[in-house]
Structure 1
Amino acid sequence: MSNIHEQIEQELENARAVCSTEGANSSDCAAAWDVVEELQAEASHQLQKHPQQTYFEKYCDANPDADECRVYDD
């Protein structure tokens, strides 16, 4: 996941540079920001596919018999 964040940072820098040299209303500037937006969307999709576990969930995975981790059906 950190790889995509590095790519986002690189493309952010690139977009800022392109927009400062080409102008904020140029097609190159718009295209550079589109790349940033696509990478951010991909990072969001990756998080949805692989949500991070909370510390409590990790604890319960390691200690399924702990009182705190018991699940009661209605």
Structure 2
Amino acid sequence: MNIKVVRGNPTPEELAAAVAVVRARAAAASLPPAPAAPRDSWSDPARIASGRLPQPGPTSWARTYWPG
């Protein structure tokens, strides 16, 4: 890997930080994507949508939360 400084006069610490960022990005790009976590039944939106919709009333606020 070659890095060329086009403008300015960076310190060795600044060059080391730039190289560390470039190497970390290259390493992250070469990793396979992580598998998606399975949904548990509590956070499944189908659990709420499967029933009838809440009707207006004093307790309807308790049934309006939609986890996602």
Q: Give the alignment's TM-score, normalised by structure 2.
A: 0.35
Structure with higher helix content:
1
- TM-score, normalization: structure 1? 0.33
Give 1 or 2 for the bigger CA radius of gyration. 2
